[in-house]
Amino acid sequence: MKFLVVDDSATMRRIVINSLQRIGFNDTVEAGDGQEAVDRFDPSVSFVITDWNMPNMSGLDLARALRARADGANVPILMVTTRSVREDIIAAIEAGVNNYIVKPFTPQVLKEKIDTVLSAVGAA
């Protein structure tokens, strides 16, 4: 299973990728903002983990852009962000995000959310 990890913070990308490797997901590709993620996305990507606040294109716009593509309409998207007010969470759901993690997070929470999303889409 290939993960696309999107965050403008290189530290955060590294933390997420290390956490993924620790739970057995070693195939990862990374992007520094939403636009780069759109460019790097292809049908081989089976899970997207994205930050919200990024220059050029936000995680929210990335989710909308992927949902508008035939090859991205069903890809699981997990938002990992500092934003945590009700309106933001609802906006993320409306944009097509499958689940949501508040930063700072623990690796356990990341694993739980990935499992939840994969179960929901029937890929677990």
Partner 1 sequence: MMATRVAKELLYDSEASLRLVDTALAELRTQNGPDDAGADVNAGLAGLPALLLRAYTEINGALQTLRQSRTALEHTAVEKLHLTSAKLKEVSSATELAATDILDGLDRAIAMVDELESAEAEGDTGRSGEVRQTMRDELFGLMGHLQFQDITTQQLNYASSILTEMENRLMQIARIFDPSLFGLEVPNTASDQPAVAFDPAATTHDAETRQALVDQIFG
Smallest CA-to-CA distance from 79 within 100, 64, 65 is with 100
Whose Cβ is closer to partner 1: residue 71's or residue 94's? 94
Near partner 1 in 54-113, by CB under 8 A: 54-56, 58, 81-86, 89-90, 93, 99-107, 109
Closest distance to partner 1 from the beta carbon of 83 (Å): 5
Interaction of residue 119 with partner 1, rule CB under 8 A: no
Q: Would you say 77 and 97 are in contact if contact means Cβ atoms under 8 Å apart? A: yes
Closest distance to partner 1 from the beta carbon of 109 (Å): 7
**Binding residue (CB under 8 A) for partner 1 from 53, 64, 91, 121:** 53
Interaction of residue 49 with partner 1, rule CB under 8 A: no
Secondary structure E strands in the chain: 2-6, 27-31, 45-50, 77-81, 99-102
Tokens matching residue 19:
């956490």
Q: Is 40 helix (H, G, I), strand (E, B) or coil?
A: helix
Closest distance to partner 1 from the beta carbon of 9 (Å): 4
> Residue 62, Cβ neighbours under 10 Å: how many?
31
DSSP bridge pairs for 6:
31, 50
Residue ranges binding partner 1 (CB under 8 A) = 7-9, 11-12, 15, 18-19, 22, 52-56, 58, 81-86, 89-90, 93, 99-107, 109
